[in-house]
Amino acid sequence: MRVPVEHKGLAESMQALVDATGAASRSARGGQAVHYADTERTIAERTAAIERAAHAETLRALDVDVPLIRVRGQLFARLGREARAYHSMAGDVPVERTVYRPVGVRNGPILDPIVIRIGAYGRGWLPLTAQCMSHDVQRGPSREAEDAARQTGRFPYSRASFERVAHLVGEHWLQEHADIEDQLTQESEVPAQAVAMSVALDRTTVPMEEPAKRPVGRPRKGAAKRSVERNFRMAYCATLTLHDAEGESLHTLRYGCMPESDPDLWCAQIAHEAYRLLEQRRDLKVKLLSDGAPELCNLLQSHFPATVFGNVEQGIDFWHVIEKLAPAAELMFGHDRDKAELHRWRTRLPCANSAADELLDELRSSGLENKRRDSKQPVHEAITYFENHRAHMRFARSLRLGLPIGSGNVEATCKTLVGIRMKRAGSRWKTTTGEHILRLRALALSDRWAPAMHKLHATRRTAVRVAA
């Protein structure tokens, strides 16, 4: 095989792999046991060296070395040449390239033509490298990502680098996500077997880092200059699910919103995506689900009006209703009969739309509305819940139409999106950085990671033109 002289470095790396393979083959002769883990490690290191050499050759070819260039209509003048390390999955790749500065701007920012042509993140993180590292961080803490990278021999970077890259990608995603998600929705096809679409909303707590109140008087010796405290605040989760005729889930999109973010704007974006899907299939029935909290019901009502979405069915999660009835049944029937009576209610509610009114009459006629147990009034609370939401308890009608009656998807999303990732022992979040991880994780859990990242990288690439 002949290798051009300009690719001499690549040829040397390839020869090193060939030599290592030959040495391993010669040592394997005979019948003795072989410590093959060392061989694997050697082959991986030589292969990574080939990968770095290939990146170096390609990146050097991407350099533009002329007196003047034009980028996005602005002129840049050549400043000189200097070396820089670009970061690949196999490690750092040092490349000497030309740098530029805006014409007429004293001490202006330095422009690297390679970075803007390939759409690198930060100071030279290659796009696929940044994508993979941020995917690791949305799955778990950066220390675990660093440890996994050390075990595999890929991404030989520190914990701080994993965090930095993930937030770079998350920040850019927040800037571009509305347009990209709109494109993804338009490009996706609603399954032929889909007959309904449900939108469910719920809340869960997130540990937030907040400034601690300064104690009265002079601070004690050695006290922290900037003390913080860990407080739990309510974040939002949502799901947009397509269902078949039996109400089974076909595909679910998941969303998250940090406590201090704007839930109205967030819900408006979800409603826009739901409308895009509805444009493809006007025959889809729409079901709104929540646990009965007034804030969630109002958010759904305001962003999914019937004038836009047609015949919208708003409902309360069936299992929250049963959960509300359980302590009332225990008070009314005692430990001997409460489970049997609760089963009777649970069986009756999905069978007839009038069951909610019948059950409400039964609760009222018990005469135990003001009866207390453990400082609570279970029957009174159940009566109030039914009075407020019985119009949304038409479970039989929903089942006949093939609509879901439970919000299990959003309940699971609260655990997988927020609980598993953001409630680790001792973890605490700030609104901005937490939003980066939450949005990236929602993207991955919605099975949209690869196409979304492909479109995100495209928004960073910029052409460089030689100026006269």
70: β partners: 75, 465
Contact yes or no for 71/462 (Cβ under 8 A)? yes
The whole-angstrom separation of Cα 203 and Cα 159 is: 31
pLDDT in tens, the chain (468 residues): 566 766 677 888 888 888 888 888 888 787 788 888 888 899 999 999 999 999 999 999 999 999 999 999 999 999 999 999 999 999 999 999 999 999 988 888 999 999 999 999 998 999 999 999 999 999 999 999 999 999 998 999 999 999 999 999 999 999 999 999 999 999 999 999 999 999 999 999 999 998 888 777 777 777 677 788 899 999 999 999 999 988 889 999 999 999 999 999 999 999 999 999 999 999 999 999 999 899 999 999 999 998 888 888 999 999 999 998 999 998 888 888 889 988 999 999 999 888 889 999 999 998 888 888 888 898 999 999 999 998 899 999 988 888 899 888 999 999 999 999 999 988 999 999 999 999 999 999 999 999 999 999 999 999 999 987
What is the residue extent of each domain of the chain? 5-25+37-61, 68-171+453-465, 191-212+227-448
The whole-angstrom separation of Cα 68 and Cα 461 is: 19
The whole-angstrom separation of Cα 67 and Cα 467 is: 8
The whole-angstrom separation of Cα 442 and Cα 235 is: 13
Instruction: Give 160-217 pLDDT, tens digit per residue.
Output: 999 999 999 999 999 999 999 999 999 999 999 999 999 999 999 999 998 888 777 7
Place of tokens 């407020």: 388
Instruction: Give 241-291 pLDDT, tens digit per residue.
Output: 999 988 889 999 999 999 999 999 999 999 999 999 999 999 999 999 999
**Which two structure tokens, joined as six digits, stand for 16?**
């090193």
